[in-house]
Amino acid sequence: MNTFTSLLLIAQIASLAYGQGCQTTSGQNCVFPSKFREMTLTKCVKADYDKYWCATSNKADGSVDTYGDCNADCPMEVHDPTKECITTGNYQCVFPFEYNGVTYNKCTDADNEGKKWCAINKYPNSEQAYH
């Protein structure tokens, strides 16, 4: 194998590992994995947007920094937001949870003046565990 062929092979492998060969409609490489809310994205998703998208860059913690619309040939993950409960602070609810000795499997308005809330996994075992 000559040097050019070796470099080409390495570049193709790196491209696949970086974004699984997937690009946005503007030609940017997708970055997988990426964190969005409490999910780890390994494919293009339709979360919170009417088109399939992917991260084009991540922040230092791995969460999505910038994104773009995916090409039609990218791997797609079906995302059903109706199966997900997100707080107004963008935290994913955790069910079941216990509050004042009662177990909840959905959001509740207990002790919150009629406003629905849930437990989140961002700050377990603290006063900030509920949102």
Domains of the chain with CATH codes? 22-79 (2.10.10.10), 85-131 (2.10.10)
Q: What pTM did the predictor assign?
A: 0.50
Among candidate residues 40, 41, 14, the one with its CA nearest the CA of residue 29 = 14
Q: Please answer whether residues 108 and 117 qualify as being in contact, where contact means their C-beta atoms are separated by less than 8 angstroms.
A: yes
Residues 6+ apart with CB under 8 A from 55: 30, 31, 32, 34, 36, 41, 64, 65, 66, 67
Q: What is the distance between the alpha carbons of residues 107 and 65, in angstroms, rounded to a whole number?
A: 29
Out of 14-18, 26-30, 86-90, 127-131, least confident range: 14-18
Give the chain's mean pLDDT. 77
